[in-house]
């Protein structure tokens, strides 16, 4: 009997480069405060957001995903034809099927690459990095394009006080490939379906079709989510750091999902993050962009020279599901 052939394991992987694209409109708190009977000061105090980037009607999720991907591919110095898989993490691509990833693959020159979308909301990008790490190290794909992309402004309700006013649009892209040294630590991930309804939509598309609900928009139970996002995610982040064999002082950056600065600050406090570690706060003028928020925030830290290539960043995504994932990555 012939012996089955299996791929040769590649020992390590890393992120080669990042790309970023944001909505073209800077929407101020004053512009959205009226329908929620609020004010610029109230929104700043409770969320830390000053403006959020939203995309105009003619700038689609795919436009932003392509822009971010092309930047990442160019900076990685690879040929797009070498990309073996394209993963798009999103909750706002407006088609149930086909996937956005297959169109993205074709659009960026990754012709024929395996392509699929994943739905893990604000944890989606970190889920994608976990999968890319595995695909590269198992030899299934040489390079993987991971994109977190959202046009959440299509799913906001101006009068909603729970989440809509936080949300922005953008896409962040990463190229993951083989490495001669460790560049992505073991992912700590999971979900808590017992809290399935804590972040989600106001109704299903079937309910909308049947006239039982208006256009489904995003909604959350903010107080419960805050408790989970800080105290439960602190445990996950500590576990991810331990799996990476690092202490907080070994990090260059903490890049959490950009949900709310109060969550970011309290999470950093619970993790005893020292002052030497840069804490990403891209949310201040980008808003909460769900799956896009971590790569956008990390891209910005690098672009502004706040961190250097080669340093370590703890990234942790958490949100609807409830789903979460954390890993330490070497900054590209």
Partner 1 sequence: MALSSQDVLAGLAELVNDETGIAADAVQMEKSFTDDLDIDSISMMTIVVNAEDKFGVKIPDEKVKDLITVADAVNFITENQA
| Residues making contact with partner 1 (CB under 8 A) | 45-46, 221-224, 226-227, 230-231, 260, 262, 266
What count of other Cβ atoms lies within 10 Å of the Cβ of residue 17? Answer: 21
Q: List CB contacts of 190: < 8 A, sequence separation 6 or more.
A: 236, 323, 324, 325
Task: In angstroms, give the least distance from the CB of 226 to partner 1.
Answer: 5
Task: In angstroms, give the least distance from the CB of 166 to partner 1.
Answer: 13
Catalytic residue among 122, 126, 260, 299: 122
Beta bridge partners of 135: none
Q: Does residue 257 carry a catalytic annotation? A: yes
Q: Does residue 122 carry a catalytic annotation? A: yes
Q: Torsion-angle region of residue 243: left (phi > 0), alpha (psi -120 to 50) or beta?
A: alpha
Nearer to partner 1, 46 or 75 (CB): 46
Task: In angstroms, give the least distance from the CB of 260 to partner 1.
Answer: 8
Nearer to partner 1, 207 or 221 (CB): 221
Beta bridge partners of 178: 13
Q: Does residue 70 carry a catalytic annotation? A: no
Nearer to partner 1, 212 or 227 (CB): 227
Query: 36 is written with which tokens?
Result: 């929620």
Query: Which among 126, 106, 130 has a CA at the least distance from the CA of 13?
Result: 130
* Intra-chain end-to-end CA distance of the chain, in Å: 46
Task: In angstroms, give the least distance from the CB of 222 to partner 1.
Answer: 6
Catalytic residue among 29, 126, 257, 260: 257
Task: In angstroms, give the least distance from the CB of 12 to partner 1.
Answer: 38
Nearer to partner 1, 124 or 222 (CB): 222
Nearer to partner 1, 135 or 264 (CB): 264
Task: In angstroms, give the least distance from the CB of 291 to partner 1.
Answer: 23
Catalytic residue among 29, 126, 260, 288: 288
Nearer to partner 1, 159 or 309 (CB): 159
* Active site residues per annotation: 122, 257, 288
């Amino acid at each position: 009997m012939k012996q089955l052939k299996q791929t040769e394991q590649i020992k390590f992987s890393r992120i080669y480069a990042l790309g970023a694209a944001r909505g073209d409109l800077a929407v101020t708190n004053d512009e959205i405060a009226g329908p929620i009977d609020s004010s610029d000061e109230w929104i700043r105090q409770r969320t830390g957001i000053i403006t959020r980037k939203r995309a105009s009607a003619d700038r689609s999720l795919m436009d932003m995903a392509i822009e971010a991907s092309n930047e990442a591919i160019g900076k990685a110095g690879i040929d797009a034809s070498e990309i073996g898989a394209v993963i798009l993490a999103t909750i706002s691509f407006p088609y149930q099927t086909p996937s956005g990833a297959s169109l993205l693959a074709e659009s960026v020159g990754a012709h024929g690459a395996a392509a699929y979308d994943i739905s893990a909301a604000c944890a989606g990008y970190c889920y994608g990095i976990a999968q890319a790490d595995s695909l590269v190290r198992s030899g299934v794909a040489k390079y993987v394009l991971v994109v977190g992309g959202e046009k959440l402004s299509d799913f906001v309700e101006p009068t909603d006080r729970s989440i809509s006013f936080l949300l922005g649009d953008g896409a962040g892209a990463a190229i993951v490939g083989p490495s001669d040294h460790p560049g992505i630590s073991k992912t700590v991930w999971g979900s808590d379906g017992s809290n399935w309804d804590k972040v989600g939509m106001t109704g299903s598309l079937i309910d909308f079709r049947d006239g039982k609900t208006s256009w489904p928009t995003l909604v959350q139970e903010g107080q419960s989510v805050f408790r989970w996002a800080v105290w439960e995610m602190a445990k996950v982040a500590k576990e991810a750091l331990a799996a990476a064999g690092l202490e907080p002082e070994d990090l260059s950056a903490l890049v959490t999902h950009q949900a709310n600065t109060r969550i970011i600050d309290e999470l950093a406090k619970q993790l005893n993050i020292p002052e030497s570690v840069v804490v990403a706060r891209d949310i201040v003028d980008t808003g909460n962009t769900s799956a896009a928020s971590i790569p956008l925030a990390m891209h910005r830290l690098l672009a502004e020279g706040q961190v250097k290539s080669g340093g370590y960043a703890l990234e942790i995504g958490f949100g609807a599901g409830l789903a979460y994932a954390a890993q330490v990555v070497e900054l590209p």
